[in-house]
Chain A
């Protein structure tokens, strides 16, 4: 009989970690569903189903134990993040394609669980927004909450994708209006007079991001994530958006608008905290989060895409190994630079 010490183990497993991440997403999902209707739940189901199917198939190909890895929950977390970042009324095959790409290419071709250098959900988003820019930019207009059947018909292509159904995201709308207005349009004026804006940011969406923040704080309280990366991410966003906003408030939206728009909160607490593709040292996490926050702002405000979180995260994923190497903490007994 061979069993190495320690004989006592804490009750912990990968599936417990993943389950808690999913639980932390539930407040956000609930508000989302209340805002746009059951479509998001359908998308979550499509993504989860595709992810598990793809995972099972490729585990089979790679000759890995199916039950052990299917039950770890990592594929479901990826699937949920994809469903939550894609437009809720996107056609079913768009979410399925993204998920397939995430699981097969971004995860398993790099070696599977624990080996992927890039965040699979963000790879899916980037691939789809480059390949299908129009579909990825069609968001439902708030206030036109369709009944389930109509939503299903749109998702599964049984009804025509009426253009009127699809607006831009509040972030995108702001950027387009400012660009078209050529200096004549004022941010404050836009926020007050356009229907899509609520108290702080996009109407309704601000509550979804608020709910993600709640879930994220719960993850932090459960010690599944540390404060470093999220705080640095949000701080970077506040710094750069705040600076520009103070400089020219008529052309740049406030920090609060940016924090509560698009993928800021989801990114800060659920995406840049992905341990596999992110940094692992405390200082590394700070740099990673700060870099991602800056880049996300730059892409969403000055770039051509509606939001910048995905590209920001992928760029930081690239630099994570180097950052980790350069930020190794000093070990016990070597703090004063003793040899």
Chain B
């Protein structure tokens, strides 16, 4: 908190104020130790509620998680969280989540563009459909996807013979992760596209830019920060996803087992401390990836202003 400098301490060295007129000023009224003054209401209360909720909802659970994992001691922690099976699970988790987030943010950009810029019948319906993955229990999505893509499924009967295995495979994991993370990528970019100034696109065209030059040089730099934010949200959502993956991935250790599934299977073995250790590693990885992405996003924002 910045407190205003008090006359008694920090200003003493400076002597009389430089303008030389301070003698003419009426003596200032006794300072009401003014906090940061603002006309906006309720700063104190809202700040208190915010910090309380953050502590109750985020800080305490995470602290318990870390404390529980710490009870293992360094060697015990490594033995639980850095087994070959766990390392494979991290790799599957991170790899499929990154892939899904990249696909979601590119696809999300496209869908958002279509929803904002194109007039077509059924646009409202499509716009409403975007939010469905948020409302649908993700286990349902996992079940539907796996029935579709298994060898005898509607899509699988055509795809499996040509070598595309959409169920019980990494591809399946990526598919459901795109499904659950796409709404975030769309909804973050959509309002930014809506707020784009069409004049600048017209200006670019009048200056002789082609469609693609206009998009890549004029439009994209303006929405890239939002695309990256959408990527970060999609990534976070994908890293934490459990319900749909558990049904479509087949959960084969070293192949299609993601870290959250491994955590649950440890819990089923009553190995609570081991489970928390894996969770802490997963948390650390997710957090550092999100920090990197957010930093990138900040830099893009600064660059585009």
Asked if chains A and B come from one complex, the reply is no
Interface residues of B (CB under 8 A from A): none
Interface residues of A (CB under 8 A from B): none
